[in-house]
Amino acid sequence: MKKNWKNNLIITVVLLSLLVLGACNKSNEHAGHADTYTCSMHPNVVSDKPGTCPVCGMELVRKARASEGVKITEDLARLIKSPNEVVVASVKTTKGEFKSMPVSVEAQGIVTYDTRTIYTIPARIGGRLERVFLKYTFQTVRKGQKVAEIYSPELLTSQRELLYLVENDPGNTDLIESAKNKLFLLGATQNQVADMIKRKDVASTFSIYSPYDGYVVREDQQAPAVSTSSSSSAMGGGMGSSSTGASSTPAVKPMNASSSELIREGNYVSSGQTLFKVVNTSALRVELDLPVAQAGRVKLNDEVDLDLGNKKIVKGKVDFVQPFFTEGEEFVKVRLYVKNSGELQIGQLVRATIRLKPLEALWVPREAVLDLGLEKIVFVKEREVFKPKNVKAGVRTDGWVEVTQGLSSSDEIAANAQYLMDSESFIKVK
């Protein structure tokens, strides 16, 4: 009896142990399949049931279970890369073309006077100016116009010598001609000498006439020039019909006409001293500023169209390309000479288009090149994705860009790089 009771007790304990173990297994199985929820903005918020985030109020999302993991394949890994490295898109593509394209260069410049038409009216003999007829700078002067009257003891002596020979030794033609030539060298004209011989009297003063047409300027007058340091940012762009960058107006060094006075009555002058400086504006010079990369392609006799800003175009040709830099300037000077038809003014700013010889190179559409300032980017298509690639751009003309480095004609690139640029323009090029 006692033995049966012990056996029943053992069986009961075993059954209870099996029941408890099964319940624990079911509890663990339920715990393993329990879902947890979290906030996408605040991952530290975790809940065992759906609801809202106590911080931001957003709906909680269920965390993925261990059995729901996605296998990352090679193709999937390429597609989920950072958008800074590759771009997945269905956009129109194009390829570079090797062809010959007409090239033009835009530049800014200024109209100045031609230094070949700057003349001086010197005093051929020392003396005192009795009268001066040119009173102010930029006064008009005509050829043959009287500009001053001078008194000179040397002129009086030379006149007396000529009159003495004419009256006392008229047959000595050699000496008479020598005395006349002396007066001519001192600045006297043939009419003045003939009148003196006819009057048989010396003149106390001699008139000085201008042998040139033009305008009076100061002797230290500088030609107008563009202050290139103020326009370097505007001109530092690439070459092309819409690049030269001329987004800002360069500053002009003004012509100061009142820093010094012209010569006046009563001033004493010496032999060879400049009395007046005359500039003839019938011919003008245009100086253009070009960066070195652009100036290297410009050659003599290249045709130039000058835009005066009033829908008028003046034609010209490149006459000179400065072979050196001027201190303090960042550009090379390109010079051309034009006739003054009345439409150009000295000191006037102009825009110029220099037409170069056709250039054979690899060309891509302008929209395919993304300008990041210091870098030029194109998007090359590789396995249905676009990767940014750094290239070196050259000339720009008529909607095309020359690519000198970093791209081949077989590369397939996005036709419009702007569509593949992210919102912050942050592109990582490997």
DSSP per-residue string spanning 123-182: -SS-EEEEEE---STT-EE-TT-EEEEEE-HHHHHHHHHHHHHHHH-TT-HHHHHHHHHH
Report d(CA 387, CA 381) in Å as an integer: 6
At 263 the pLDDT is: 85
**Could you tell me what percent of the chain has a pLDDT over 90?**
3
- 3-12, 158-167, 245-254, 321-330 — which one is most confidently predicted on average? 158-167
CA distance 59 to 308: 66
Mean model confidence pLDDT for the chain: 77
Q: Is the dihedral of CA 271, 272, 273, 278 positive or negative?
A: positive
Residue 172 confidence (pLDDT) above 50? yes
- Does residue 397 or residue 363 have the better pLDDT? 363
362 pLDDT higher than 60: yes
- pTM for the full predicted model: 0.54
Chain segment 277-300, per-residue pLDDT in tens: 998 888 888 888 887 767 777 888
Checking if the pLDDT of 381 tops 60, the result is yes
The pLDDT of residue 258 is above 50: no
> Do 281 and 89 touch, CB atoms closer than 8 A?
no
**139 Cα distance to chain centroid:** 36
Q: Is the pLDDT of residue 428 over 80?
A: no
Listed range (209-223, 359-373, 384-398, 414-428) with the worst mean pLDDT = 414-428
**Domains of the chain with CATH codes:** 93-100+359-420 (2.40.420.20), 105-116+222-256+279-358 (2.40.30.170), 121-217 (no CATH)
The yes-or-no verdict on residue 256 having pLDDT over 60 is no
Distance (Å, rounded) from C-alpha 22 to C-alpha 67?
Answer: 24
Higher pLDDT, 399 or 221: 399
pLDDT of residue 429: 64
Residue 88 has pLDDT above 60, yes or no: no
Name the more confident of 354 and 229. 354
Report the percent of the chain where pLDDT is more than 70.
Answer: 73
Average pLDDT of the segment spanning 132-139: 89
pLDDT of residue 168: 86
Q: What is the pLDDT of residues 32-75, one digit of tens each?
A: 457 788 888 888 888 888 889 888 888 888 887 766 666 667 76
Greater confidence, 144 or 250?
144
- 312 pLDDT band (50/70/90 cuts)? confident
Q: Which is higher by pLDDT, 330 or 111? A: 111
Average the pLDDT over 339-349 and give the result.
80
3-state secondary structure (DSSP) of residue 96: coil
Residue 226 has pLDDT above 60, yes or no: yes
Is 87 a residue whose pLDDT tops 80?
Answer: no
Residue 142: pLDDT band with limits 50, 70, 90? very high
Higher pLDDT, 230 or 224: 224
What band does 421 get if pLDDT is binned at 50, 70 and 90? low
Q: Is the pLDDT of residue 12 over 80?
A: no
Q: Which of 82-96, 169-183, 234-248, 300-314 has the highest mean pLDDT?
A: 169-183
Phi and psi for 365 in degrees, rounded to 5? -60, 145
Rounded Cα gap, residues 243 and 226, in angstroms: 19
